[in-house]
Amino acid sequence: MQRVSLLDSIFTRLVAWAIAVSIAVVLVLGWLVTTKFERMSQATVRWNVDADIRHMADILDARGQTELVAHIQESADLASPPGTGTHFLLVDAQGRRLAGDMTQWPTFPARGGQSGDIMLPGGRPAFARAVDLAPDMRLLAARETGWTMIQLNQIGLSFVAGGLFVVMAVGVAGYITARRLSSRVRVINAAFRDPEPDRLAALDTRQARMDEIAELTRHSSAALTRLDRLARSQRDTTDQIAHEMRTPLMHLDNRLVRAIQAQEQAGSGSGASSGGPDAETIERLIAARGEIRHVVATLESLLDIAHSEAQRGNPQGLAEVDLSALAANIADLYTASAEDTGHDFRLEAEEGVTMQGDEIQITRLVINLLDNAFKYVPPGGRVTLIVKRDAKGHPLIAVADNGPGVPPEYRETIFERFGRVQNGSGDPNGHSKGAGLGLALARAIAQRHGMELRLAPTVRGARFELRVQAGA
């Protein structure tokens, strides 16, 4: 059974979603903060430019043009940090420079009129505004905005660093949490896969927390314990019923044996005048014994089918089975009997084919398939036992023959309980044989091992294949 890896875990997906949400939140917050800071910085620069213009206008009104020119020159000589400088240009009506540290009148954006962002010599960005201080005098005031860009970059880097830290913290905390949650869920899954009593008892006591998984653990433990108790009770009941039925039947069989022996002894002791033992009575007693043994065999087959179906998906009791060696041992048993019955029996087995399973049950499955083939294939026919790996590397067991095959209407019903091919359709002797439980038991054993037993399409004869179920 395939187990869920940590990468495929729902907890890992939740952590991935948490990381994605954290990244989105950091990006949105970074955009909001930088946008707000940029707008506030732009508003501050505009307010400072307007304040510079008002200050120059006040000097012109109070002290005159000469004092204004001197003040502009003093302002131009002041040193300022990069990206924060203040610049002026005072010109007359003809555009001649009167004062300031700027040498030429800048070009404003078309939509900005006499104000807007400009580029100073040296590639320094700035915001500038031009006004008429007097009919024959114009003033241009500008403030550099490079420092604002530097601050925006620093804020962006801070958010990137903070975002990486948040993402890493969420990822580490989520990974630790996901591993813990996955380990707790893994305990529940292990109990479902292998519901041993000790494991079920430990499942209920190892969860100290009172959270959803702990509650699920306790409920799972209670449910599995109850199901295990019911299964054990059902097995005990069926075993008791089988014992109660088998015991009187075997007693009856022993009585019939003694009755046959008594008939034979009575016939031999009375001499030739008596005509010997009652042949008809002996024949009927022998037939009764056969019926009793048939009932016992049918009962045991039904119990085996029920047991295999109850153990479906349960890995308890499974171990590595060497199918190649198992097939070789079975072939040794059938080779001599095949010669006696006139059948051509062959073994085609690859080396080293193994699987997890119950060796006794797999042996019984193969024997049922071989018995079924020898039963319906007439003398001179061929029966082949095949063990190999399929294209995907999974083990494959097949029993093929060149007998009469199975009619299409019986291809599925033969796997049902008491399902048989009727009235000579595939039976060389013209009548049904057995109770019709051999293939039903074989399929139950296959399903118990997570495999599929099917009748493969063939041109002639029949080919029963045991292979791993698709998607397993």
Q: pLDDT for 70-121, tens place per residue?
A: 998 888 777 778 888 899 999 988 888 899 888 888 888 877 678 888 888 8
Q: How far apart are CA 400 and CA 464, in angstroms?
A: 6
> What token pair was written down for 68?
């204004």
Q: Nearest CA to 289 among 247, 248, 250? A: 250
Q: Of 34 and 420, which is predicted with more confidence? A: 34
What is the CATH architecture of 222-310? Orthogonal Bundle (1.10)
Question: Please, are residues 88 and 72 in contact by the beta-carbon 8 Å criterion?
Answer: yes
DSSP 8-state secondary structure symbol assigned to residue 320:
E
103-129 burial code (b ≥16 CB/10 A, e <16): eeebebeeeeeebbbbebeeebebbbb
Q: What is the mean pLDDT of residues 170-178?
A: 83
pLDDT at 300 over 90: no
CA angle 356, 362, 363 (to 5 degrees): 135
Q: What is the pLDDT of residue 1?
A: 47
Q: How far apart are CA 167 and CA 126, in angstroms?
A: 37
d(CA 334, CA 341): 10
Question: Over the chain, what is the mean pLDDT?
Answer: 80
The CATH code of the domain at 319-468 is 3.30.565.10
pLDDT number for residue 315: 64
The answer to whether the CB of 296 falls within 8 A of the CB of 243 is no
pLDDT for res 370: 92
Least confident piece of the model among 273-277, 314-318, 324-328, 357-361 = 273-277
**0.75 exceeded by pTM:** no
pLDDT at 314 over 80: no
Please compute the mean of the pLDDT values over residues 425-448 and round it to a whole number: 66
Question: Token match 């002041």: residue?
Answer: 78
pLDDT for 427 beyond 60? no
- 10-151 and 319-468 have identical folds: no
Q: Parse the chain into domains and list their residue ranges.
A: 10-151, 222-310, 319-468
Per-residue confidence band for 428, with pLDDT thresholds at 50, 70 and 90: very low
Query: Which among 421, 412, 419 is positioned nearest to 435, based on CA atoms?
Result: 419
Which pLDDT value is given to residue 198? 65
The tens digit of pLDDT for each residue in 356-377 reads 888 988 998 999 899 889 988 9
Task: Provide the residue count of the chain.
Answer: 472
Query: What pLDDT is attached to residue 113?
Result: 72
* pLDDT at position 472 over 60: no
pLDDT tens-digit profile of 24-60? 888 888 889 888 888 998 899 999 999 999 999 999 8
The predicted pLDDT at position 431 comes to 41
Q: For residues 187 and 407, give the distance between their C-alpha atoms in angstroms, rounded to a whole number.
A: 49
Choose the weakest-confidence range: 126-135, 196-205, 462-471.
196-205
Q: How far is CA 256 from CA 246, 275, 294, in A?
A: 15, 22, 15
Q: What is the pLDDT of residues 276-297, one digit of tens each?
A: 556 777 777 787 877 777 777 7
Torsion of CA 348, 351, 352, 358, to 10 degrees: 30
Higher-scoring residue by pLDDT: 42, 7: 42
Of 106, 140, 131, the closest CA to residue 120 belongs to: 106
Identify the pLDDT of residue 5. Answer: 64
- Of residues 273 and 458, more confidently modeled: 458
Give which of 345, 459, 456, 312 is closest to 390, Cα–Cα: 456
Give one word for 155, left, alpha or beta, with left for phi > 0 and alpha for psi -120 to 50: alpha
| pLDDT > 90: percent of the chain | 18
User: What's the token pair of residue 131?
Assistant: 């006004």
- What dotted CATH number matches 10-151? 3.30.450
